[in-house]
A and B are shown apart, each in its own frame.
Chain A
Amino acid sequence: MDKLTDLHLDALSEVFNIGAGRAAASLSEIVSEEVKLSVPSIEFRKCADLTAKLLSLDQSQLGVVKQKFSGAFTADASLLFTEDNALEIMRDMMGSQISVEELAEFEQEAMCELGNIILNACLSAMADMLEIQLESSLPSYSVSNSDDYIQSIIGGEDQTYIMILHIDLEIERRQVNGRLIFLFSSSSLSTLRVQIDTFLHKI
């Protein structure tokens, strides 16, 4: 892999900081509360090195929203929530008058929408800053255990890299930890590096 320098990572962190800020603004409108954001941190790893520990997710059941992005480069993006968190955010989104049965009925749709807001906010911030175009597929939501999720990623080509973005979104009454995972092929990662260089040279 062409190494990304600290300056590349700094630029990417700032992009995702902007993305997460946009996402938090939308989320806070939805749940009518302030959403606190942690400082984002980014790391790149080989897919094969991915473990549950690296994702800092201590629960085995995950809610996963997946979306594909394509354009200047391609990336498979996943937003991971612990499942308890997912249901609580949904309850906030849909209002407390909704019954548990109804909640289950809307789960798929609501989680896709939530993922759509967060993933698109992050990717559109990246597209704006790098002055590129990225298109997104429709999001899909599933609940899976963390080992299965990791297997589904490691199962791909071994020349694939993952970018793990750690951002904690905290909604006043509840601690919600989300992780964003972006899967890049080697060629997409090289393209991304070139795009960041172009951006940095313009400063």
Chain B
Amino acid sequence: MTSAPAPGSPSPRLLIVDDSRVSRMMIRAFVLDKQPDWHITEAISGDAAIAMVDQQSFDYCTMDINMPGTLGIAASEQILEKFPAMRIVIFSANIQECLRSRAAELGAHFVAKPVTEKSVGQAITFFKGEGG
């Protein structure tokens, strides 16, 4: 939906998946504040994300759960089947224990919304493999 990653660039590529424009704006702003060199792309639904990962490669992904169409957990499952090396953070307001466990089973990391400097920081820590 936005900035295309520069070909051959070593900078990590992050896909933000969220149906809320405000959430995407906030995640983008907090990430770029800490990681100004990351390439960020946005998808407005799980279905859009599934289509996008076939066309561009991404290192990291933040995934909302409650979205129109394919829910975030199912979208993550499909994406990880094809691209098991991608690091996915399930970034959701739906904080029920069963969803946290399902995220863990998939090998994704769960971070509870709201989108704040702290919660985005937790996602970045997981992406960079610093104890996530």
Contacts and interface: CB of A to CB of B under 8 A. Distances in A.
B20 interface: yes
Interface in B78-127: 92-99, 113-114
Nearest to B67: A39
A200 B26 CA distance: 9
Query: DSSP class of A's interface residues: helix, strand, loop or mixed?
Result: helix
A200 B96 contact: no
29 contacts: A7-B21, A10-B20, A10-B21, A11-B22, A14-B22, A14-B23, A17-B20, A17-B93, A18-B114, A19-B93, A21-B92, A21-B93, A21-B95, A21-B96, A22-B93, A22-B95, A24-B94, A25-B95, A25-B96, A25-B97, A28-B96, A34-B96, A39-B19, A39-B68, A125-B114, A128-B114, A203-B22, A203-B25, A203-B26
A160 to B, nearest CB: 26
Nearest to B68: A39
A22 B95 CA distance: 7
Given A18-B114, A39-B67, A10 B22 contact: yes
Nearest to A167: B66
Contacts of B26: 203
Given A18-B93, A21-B93, A39 B22 contact: no
Given A13-B20, A17-B20, A24-B95, 10 more contacts: A17-B93, A21-B66, A21-B92, A21-B113, A24-B94, A37-B94, A39-B67, A39-B68, A128-B114, A129-B114
Interface string A98-127: 000000000000000000000000000100
B29 interface: yes
Interface of B: 19-23, 25-26, 29, 66-68, 92-99, 113-114
Given A125-B114, A128-B114, A129-B114, A21 B22 contact: no
A71 B58 CA distance: 45
Q: Which of A14, A37, A200, A203 has the most CB of B within 10 A?
A: A14
Interface of A: 7, 10-11, 13-14, 17-22, 24-25, 28, 34-35, 37-39, 125, 128-129, 200, 203
Contacts of A39: 19, 66-68
A38 B68 CA distance: 8
Given A18-B93, A203-B26, A28 B20 contact: no
Given A125-B114, A203-B29, A14 B20 contact: yes
Give the most central of A17, A37, A39, A129: most B CB within 10 Å. Answer: A17
A28 B99 CA distance: 11
Contacts of B22: 7, 10-11, 14, 200, 203
Contacts of B96: 21, 24-25, 28, 34-35
| Most central of A7, A20, A21, A34 by chain B CB within 10 Å | A21
A39 B44 CA distance: 13
B93 A20 contact: yes
10 smallest beta-carbon distances between A and B, as pairs: A21-B93, A18-B93, A14-B20, A21-B94, A11-B22, A25-B95, A17-B93, A28-B96, A34-B98, A10-B21
